[in-house]
Each structure stands twice: as structure tokens, then as C-alpha cells.
Amino acid sequence: MTQNLILASTSPFRRELLTRLGLPFETANPETDETPLPGETPEHIALRLSEAKARAVAKQHPGALIIGSDQVATVDGRLFGKPGNHERAVEQLRSLSGKTVNFFTGLCLLNARTGFAEVRGVPTLVTFRKLDDREIENYLRREPAYNCAGSAKSEGLGIALLSSMRGDDPNALVGLPLIALCDLLRNQGVTVLS
């Protein structure tokens, strides 16, 4: 690989996922305003922010290949972000109980040398079981998922809150769709299995 690979994220979950590919990479904080634009669809938010994060990091790494990713969770048109605290996480899990959530992950690979960005969206449909308040409190006490959209970590104990998951890439739900990323890397001449 002739260009450095940069992950435009401080997420430990995304870093761990990218490590699985065995490619050398660095991480950088994208410092991007994640406020939705007026009238913006959730899918557009994720796609726009994944590219915005990559472009923000490109300023400090002009010759690199930069990976940006963003995820939104929606039910019936309502956007669910990171709850940030216990009370909002409880409220989110009550709202998601018995419902199917679309976790839409935007992915961008930006060639900072050429300015070319390829952007993809990867949906994952997750159905939550009917949850009672005791289960919600017990879950959040054991795994306070305050930094996860939807307030549940499917890669951890949060899997016990779910009844089904449907999608093309199980890694997308954690925040970095590796199947799509491998395809984007190949398009830039980077082979994971060289």
C-alpha cells in the first residue's frame, strides 16, 4: 500500500473492526459538526457525515486514503442518536421495545491525493424484543451503552435485547461495514489479501 490509511474516527469500536483487516492504519479525530440539516433524511445524514469526517481529516493528511463512517438509527421516521446518559438510554429502550430499527451506516473512502470520494450506505434492520423496565435497568447497569445509537451494544450483552437482525454485513451495526470497505479499498488499488 503506497498511501497511508487513516480512520477518521476516535471510536474504539471502529478501530477494533478495522484492525481485523490486518492493514496498517492511523486514527484521527474528524472534529465534525454532526447536527442534521433542516429537512435532511436520516440516510442522507449518515452519508453526508461519513464524507464530511473523511474530508475534515484530509486537511492534515493530504496524501492518505481516509475512511469516514457515521451511523443513524431510525424508527417510523424518528431519529435515535447516542443517548449520552442513563435517563435518555432508558427512554430510548422503552421507545424501541418491540420495534424494528433501521441502523443505517454511511461509509466513505476518500483518496485525499486525488479528492475522489466513494460513499456507500449499508442498512441493518434490528428488531428489539418487548422489554420491561426491569430488563432495561438490568441491562444498562451491566452495560451502560450511553455512547451507542439505540442504547444497545449488539456486540456485547445488548444482543440479549434483540429478537432479530437483518443486513448484509454484521460489522455495519457496530459502525464500520467491512465488506463494503474491502470493496472500496480494492477500487483504490488496495488488496486486503495480498
Query: Residue 20 domain-assigned?
Result: yes
Q: How many domains does the chain have?
A: 1
Query: Residue 192 domain-assigned?
Result: no
Query: Residue 36 domain-assigned?
Result: yes
Query: Residue 193 domain-assigned?
Result: no
Query: Residue 61 domain-assigned?
Result: yes
Instruction: Identify the domain containing residue 103 by its residue range.
Output: 5-187
Residue 97 maps to which CATH number?
3.90.950.10
Query: Residue 149 domain-assigned?
Result: yes
Mean pLDDT by 10 residues, the chain (194 residues): 89 93 96 90 94 96 96 90 94 96 96 97 97 98 92 93 95 94 96 84
Name the residue type at position 11: S
Q: Which distant-in-sequence residues (6+ apart) come within 8 Å of 116 by Cβ?
A: 110
d(Cα 2, Cα 11) in Å, to the nearest integer? 25
pLDDT value for 1: 54
Residue 70 a catalytic site member: yes
- At 12 the three-state DSSP class reads helix
pLDDT value for 135: 97
Strands 162-167 and 116-128: antiparallel
pLDDT value for 35: 87
Query: Residue 138 domain-assigned?
Result: yes
Q: DSSP readout, 71-130?
A: EEEEETTEEE----SHHHHHHHHHHHTT-EEEEEEEEEEEETTTTEEEEEEEEEEEEEPP
Cβ count near 140 (within 10 Å):
20
Q: Name the active-site residue from 70, 132, 133, 169.
A: 70
Query: Residue 194 domain-assigned?
Result: no
**142 to 26, 127, 164: CA distances (angstroms):** 31, 21, 22
pLDDT value for 167: 95
Rg of the chain taking only CA atoms, in angstroms: 17
Of 14, 12, 20, the residue nearest 66 (C-alpha):
14
d(Cα 108, Cα 117) in Å, to the nearest integer? 7
pLDDT value for 180: 97
